[in-house]
A and B are shown apart, each in its own frame.
Chain A
């Protein structure tokens, strides 16, 4: 079955395995502020299977966006290991796509030109590029808007265009940094559904950072819950439900509430006892 779809897309070499397994080992990252080193990520270990959808949630300042930028290769200054299919990440690559919270389409290019821009550094022959661009615009349901400029698109449409641009190079791994954070609630639900459909058709690995716990459990095979200062993994929650999912499923709601409680409640990490308890004595002294 998979072999059949591969033959339909001749621009992908047939012998390339459909992979995209990400290994993060002992990853630490400091930001330098003046002479002081501020730890942002502290010894992160994470294995992401090929084709998996992983959501990352956590309080602001937990380094989740930094983590995604490191995986994308926009920032190469880190300690530890990040490997995609065994290859250490050192810089950006068309194997790894990234979608930002803002769509970052170029305002002077049409939708079609914006998507096509991603293909400039590929060896796909020119005549095929137009077809691939059209396919991906269709994938995000924007056929008919090829000639539109970004300001003519709604927020949701622009973000879908950004998804098309990120997918047009067929990356093994797609990173999403709060991709729906700037959308209104209704549009967000709509684009979530689109994202799920796209993931089910493309089956590339996806790692999404989000503030929205409901979104995280709805889309993710696993939800990584992070702690702040320094950023580290507090808990990994398996969402063992088949896709596509029913948003109103009671299991999802329970998982969401559990994760929310964990994020908003007192910390239970034995490594950081000073954050743990609210001693009345302390409050009196303060």
Chain B
């Protein structure tokens, strides 16, 4: 356990060391290649004066609302496509085509439609979350073996337990994977969005840092957004493992 942790953290430490040495060598100007020690100091200062906390709070608020909206619509849409042949025929082609478009490509249009207020950011996150969740739900429900439906028919399982004890558990693992992808995808798109158009949030903090040539602030933002994304991914993975207990020996 400790050994695996050490093995996981070693490359990161090596990278930080190489970075520190490169900064100290003076090949690049100190304002461009800020040493990690300075970034850490900036990070601590931003955290202490509450600035980082404010930005982070705003970003996470947008993420949560966007995620909940996008995930709810994605779950319903994916399930409807898997269960209704008509719905699939009507919407699958459009869905498959539109999901190939990078979410960032929708931003100019969404800015025109919604402005650059909170609503816009939440909608962008929701769109980013919607596609992986809808796709995973569709595949998850479609992939339930016919054999299990037959068992339910044989025992004439009533509708409610059929959904809660057979359909949902069968579909939950792939759907959770979709939710995890959606959550991290939503976070990426949100930070990108805030870089482009925002008055607060982690991305905006980085953009302000860039404009004032404070690369240490930019890098602090990079570090925080990476850490948040990693944390989100890990926590949903833990939930996934909890739901897949029955798979393990």
Residues of chain A at the chain B interface (Cβ within 8 Å): 72, 74, 92-94, 97-98, 100, 102, 104, 106-109, 117-118, 120-121, 149-152, 169
Question: Is B9 an interface position by the 8 A CB rule?
Answer: no
Contacts of B249 in A (CB 8 A): 151-152
Residue picked from B147, B151, B157, B249, most chain A C-beta under 10 Å: B151
Q: When the two chains form their complex, are residues A97 and B165 in contact, meaning their CB atoms are under 8 A apart?
A: no
Contacts of A108 in B (CB 8 A): 169-170, 246
Residue total for B at the interface (Cβ-Cβ under 8 A): 18
Report B150 CB to chain A, min CB distance, Å.
Answer: 6
**Main DSSP-derived SS at the A contact region:** loop
Q: Which one of A74, A106, A149, A169 lies within 8 Å of B150 (CB-CB)?
A: A74
Q: 18 A-B Cβ contacts within 8 A? A: A72-B154, A74-B150, A92-B154, A92-B156, A93-B156, A98-B154, A106-B165, A108-B170, A109-B169, A109-B246, A117-B157, A120-B157, A120-B158, A120-B161, A121-B155, A151-B246, A152-B249, A169-B155
Contacts of B151 in A (CB 8 A): 104, 106
Q: Which one of A72, A118, A149 lies within 8 Å of B246 (CB-CB)?
A: A149
Task: Answer whether A97 and B247 are a contact pair too, CB < 8 Å, given A106-B169, A108-B169.
Answer: no
Task: Answer whether A74 and B147 are a contact pair too, CB < 8 Å, given A109-B165, A117-B165.
Answer: no
| CB 8 Å contact bits of B42-81 with A (1 = contact, 0 = none) | 0000000000000000000000000000000000000000
Contacts of B147 in A (CB 8 A): 100, 102, 104
Closest to A105 in B: B151
Q: When the two chains form their complex, are residues B157 and A74 in contact, meaning their CB atoms are under 8 A apart?
A: no
Contacts of B234 in A (CB 8 A): none
Contacts of A120 in B (CB 8 A): 155, 157-158, 161
State in angstroms the CA–CA spacing of A234 and B94 once bound together.
55
Report B84 CB to chain A, min CB distance, Å.
Answer: 23
Task: Answer whether A121 and B150 are a contact pair too, CB < 8 Å, given A107-B246, A108-B246, A151-B247.
Answer: no
State in angstroms the CA–CA spacing of A169 and B148 once bound together.
18
Q: Which one of B153, B155, B170 lies within 8 Å of A117 (CB-CB)?
A: B155
| CB 8 Å contact bits of B126-149 with A (1 = contact, 0 = none) | 000000000000000000000110
Task: Answer whether A107 and B155 are a contact pair too, CB < 8 Å, given A74-B150, A102-B147, A117-B165.
Answer: no
Contacts of A152 in B (CB 8 A): 249
Q: When the two chains form their complex, are residues A104 and B158 in contact, meaning their CB atoms are under 8 A apart?
A: no
Q: When the two chains form their complex, are residues B158 and A74 in contact, meaning their CB atoms are under 8 A apart?
A: no
Residue picked from A106, A108, A150, most chain B C-beta under 10 Å: A108
Question: Is B166 an interface position by the 8 A CB rule?
Answer: yes
Q: When the two chains form their complex, are residues A121 and B246 in contact, meaning their CB atoms are under 8 A apart?
A: no
Report B146 CB to chain A, min CB distance, Å.
Answer: 10
Closest to A110 in B: B246
Contacts of A151 in B (CB 8 A): 246-247, 249
Q: When the two chains form their complex, are residues B246 and A74 in contact, meaning their CB atoms are under 8 A apart?
A: no
Closest to A94 in B: B156
Contacts of B161 in A (CB 8 A): 117, 120
**5 closest residue pairs by CB, A with B:** A108-B169, A121-B156, A108-B246, A118-B155, A149-B246
A-B contact sample (18 more), CB < 8 A, given A107-B246, A109-B246, A149-B246: A74-B153, A74-B154, A94-B155, A94-B156, A106-B148, A106-B166, A106-B169, A106-B170, A108-B170, A108-B246, A117-B155, A120-B155, A120-B157, A120-B161, A121-B155, A121-B157, A121-B158, A169-B155
Report B87 CB to chain A, min CB distance, Å.
Answer: 26
Residue picked from A92, A120, A149, most chain B C-beta under 10 Å: A120
